[in-house]
Amino acid sequence: MTADVGRILREVQGGAVARALLAETLELADREGILTRVQRLSPFSLPVLCRVLQAELGYNCGAGNRQRMIGLLLCLLAEYGWVRGTEGAWHWARDGARPAAEGEALSALPEDAAARTDDQYLFLRKCLEAVPHYLRGERPAVTFDDRHAGAWESFLGCQEFRVCRALLLELMGVEDRPTFGVLDLCHGPGWGLEAAISQFPSIAVTALDFTSAFRSRACARVEAAQARNRLLGRPVTPVAWVGPERWKGFGHPLPFLDSSFEAVLFTCGDPYVPPSLRPAFYGEIARVLAPTGRLGILTRCSPDAARRYVRSCWLRMAALVHDFAESVCEGWEGFPGAEEHMRTLSEAGFQGGISPGSAMSVLESSLWVLKKRHADD
């Protein structure tokens, strides 16, 4: 591999963005009065807390993913050491402590000023600003339409995701030849397309999405990458565009023949696949992959209690605060647990795809590289 894997891992695991977002989330929980009620009710169950928040703060915890959001907040507080969960009950763990905004804990968080200009931080901070309104029953704050296309473009193009896409394409074993077909599934504003075309200019790329809201931005990004390739004397191959006229989204068959692609790239879309549709969706991906093809997924996974799959403190924090914040976006289902994700992929016919006997994921369940399982595997 030519990528500086050590540098990439340090960049992502450093946690600067997660630290900044954690501070914002704790301040929100204090400002809303959630921390005061957690302390007052201790010990309590999630349903009891939700009933109190509904009665006293006007939250609509019974609708959509809102109760799940409160559960995520409790998990985040547990990771930070402010509560602990035992046998279905939550306990306030900061004896005699005041809520965060009045105490010293937030000021003690290590700070990185550059993190607050990062596009991931800026997007998720805007999501956090919408959380109080969303918890009180307002509609999703961010949707997949022209109004929010610019916000999605900046967020999905953040440094962490760009680095991870480049590494993922390399780990997938993409080959730079005209007969190597790559599907960018849910291409969005085109960051994955740009990465694939820049790294492997000869490949045959197909771009698929269920919305046309991002098409013009993705086309512009592709054209810029192709122009750079021309200047460098590299091949320029047209992209095949497939939109909502042929694919209506999750729950619908992919509009391609069996074994159509040598690689499928699926970045940042997994948390939007409804749980009931996940087995069939990943089965469809397996169907359109060639027998030797690879699937690459960029996502996060919910931290596991045993710290087997997500070990780093700041990656665990990042997954929880990200899940909590992006819950205000239309269609958000949340990050699955790594074991659950692994089981779904295995039942859909996948296995680890980097080397014989390899695990399915790298980078603590953020990057997944898989191949189709065959009878002799």
Locus of tokens 């399915």: 360
Percent of the chain with pLDDT over 90: 82
How far apart (Å, rounded) are the C-alpha atoms in residues 155 and 16?
A: 16
**Window from 42-51, 94-103, 267-276 with minimum mean pLDDT:** 94-103
State the pLDDT at residue 114. Answer: 73
Q: CATH code for 157-301+336-372?
A: 3.40.50.150
Fold exhibited by the domain 5-116+126-138: Arc Repressor Mutant, subunit A (1.10.10)
Q: Could you read off the pLDDT of 52-62 as tens digits, one per residue? A: 999 999 999 99
C-alpha distance from residue 27 to each of 34, 66, 213, 369 (Å): 10, 19, 34, 37
Mean pLDDT of 171-185: 97
Q: Which residue has the higher pLDDT, 104 or 88?
A: 88
Report the interhelical angle of 191-199 vs 159-171 (nearest 10°).
50
d(CA 122, CA 253): 35
* pLDDT tens per residue across span 118-162: 999 999 999 999 999 999 999 999 999 999 999 999 999 999 999
User: Tell me, what's the pLDDT at 102?
Assistant: 37
| Among candidate residues 276, 270, 244, 250, the one with its CA nearest the CA of residue 145 | 244
pLDDT value for 181: 98
CB 109 within 8 A of CB 25: no
* 101: pLDDT strictly greater than 80: no
Q: How confident is the model at residue 112 (pLDDT cuts 50, 70, 90)?
A: low
| Strand 261-267 to 181-185 pairing | parallel
Domain boundaries, the chain: 5-116+126-138, 157-301+336-372
- Banded pLDDT at 29 (limits 50, 70, 90): very high
3-class secondary structure for the chain? CCCCHHHHHHHHHCCHHHHHHHHHHHHHHHHCCHHHHHHHHCCECHHHHHHHHHHHHCCCCCCCCHHHHHHHHHHHHHHHCCEEEECCEEEECCCCCCCHHHCCCHHHCCCCHHHHHCHHHHHHHHHHHHHHHHHCCCCCCECCCHHHHHHHHHHHCCHHHHHHHHHHHHHCCCCCCCCCEEEEECCCCCHHHHHHHHHCCCCEEEEECCCCCCHHHHHHHHHHHHHHHHHCCCCCCCCEEECCCCCCCCCCCCCCCCCCEEEEEEECCHHHCCHHHHHHHHHHHHHHEEEEEEEEEECCCECCCCCCCCCCHHHHHHHHHHHHHHCCECCCCCCCEHHHHHHHHHHCCEEECCCCCCCCEECCCCEEEEEECCCCC
pLDDT over threshold 80, residue 5: no
Confidence of residue 15 (pLDDT cuts 50, 70, 90): confident
Q: Is the pLDDT of residue 28 over 60?
A: yes
When pLDDT is averaged across residues 37-49 and rounded to a whole number, the result is: 96
pLDDT of residue 16: 85
Stronger pLDDT, 277 or 114, i.e. the higher one: 277
pLDDT in tens, 246-267: 999 999 999 999 999 999 999 9
- What is the rounded average pLDDT for all residues in the chain? 92
**Residue 361 in tokens:** 């994921």
Sign of the C-alpha dihedral computed for residues 278, 279, 280 and 281 taken in this order: positive
Give me Rg for the CA atoms of the chain.
21
Buried b (16+ CB within 10 A) or exposed e, 168-201: bbbbbbbeeeeebbbbbbbbbbbbbbbbbbbebb
The tens digit of pLDDT for each residue in 216-246 reads 999 999 999 999 999 999 999 999 999 999 9
Please give the torsion angle defined by the CA atoms of residues 367, 372, 374 and 376, in that order, rounded to the nearest 10 degrees. -30
pLDDT digits (tens, 9 = 90+) for 284-295: 999 999 999 999
